[in-house]
Amino acid sequence: ETGVTQTPRHLVMGMTNKKSLKCEQHLGHNAMYWYKQSAKKPLELMFVYSLEERVENNSVPSRFSPECPNSSHLFLHLHTLQPEDSALYLCASSQDLTDRADTQYFGPGTRLTVL
Amino acid sequence: KQEVTQIPAALSVPEGENLVLNCSFTDSAIYNLQWFRQDPGKGLTSLLLIQSSQREQTSGRLNASLDKSSGRSTLYIAASQPGDSATYLCAASGSARQLTFGSGTQLTVLP
């Protein structure tokens, strides 16, 4: 048990659908992250939140919309996705952004397939 | 922009062998270097974190080293076991407080 949960674990959606991914951390951390892991490519950081404020947005298309209502929950809202958006989406959390000795704890991921 | 490279991409060894996984990074201005393990279809598990001021960290059969000047880190696994089979990822944390990941080394330990 990593302390970070993600739902759903698997999701298949059409290009016109709207869906949301949910992440919850039970570790009392202040920072949360969304990553995308595509086949044969390194993990790509998508969004970073610290104390519910977005601090990084790495040129992610607007069809991905994050939401952080509190420090324990993070959502990724999806709409009008493309087949190339199919990937494993990983959520992570860490105590803070500033601690150099701080590691990130990852959830199990949501396997997304866009038809 | 930081780039992280891992060699080899895949490695297969017999059980009991000692092995080394390599990681290189282009920007030596890092906060720390982390090694993770990923099992198929699952998230990442943190193995070791080496702060920029440190040279190595050990946990059980795992030892990770860091040489900032040469932009290299290694993960040494002693007496490998089939349960060690997984993909091993290294990630460098820079001033932007972001982790830049390598593509990973897929390790298979044969019984």
Q: What pLDDT, in 10s, does the model give residues A55-88?
A: 777 789 999 999 999 999 999 999 999 999 999 9
What DSSP designation does A31 have? E
Question: Does residue B40 sit at the A interface (CB-CB below 8 Å)?
Answer: no
For B28-62, the DSSP string reads --EEEEEEEEE-TTS-EEEEEEEETT-SEEEETTE
pLDDT tens per residue, range A22-49 = 999 999 999 999 999 998 788 999 999 9
Contacts of A56 in chain B (CB under 8 A): 96, 98
Q: Which of A37, A103, A112, A113 to mutate to test the interface with B (most CBs of B within 10 A)?
A: A103
Min Cα distance A41 → chain B (Å) is: 6
Min Cα distance A6 → chain B (Å) is: 10
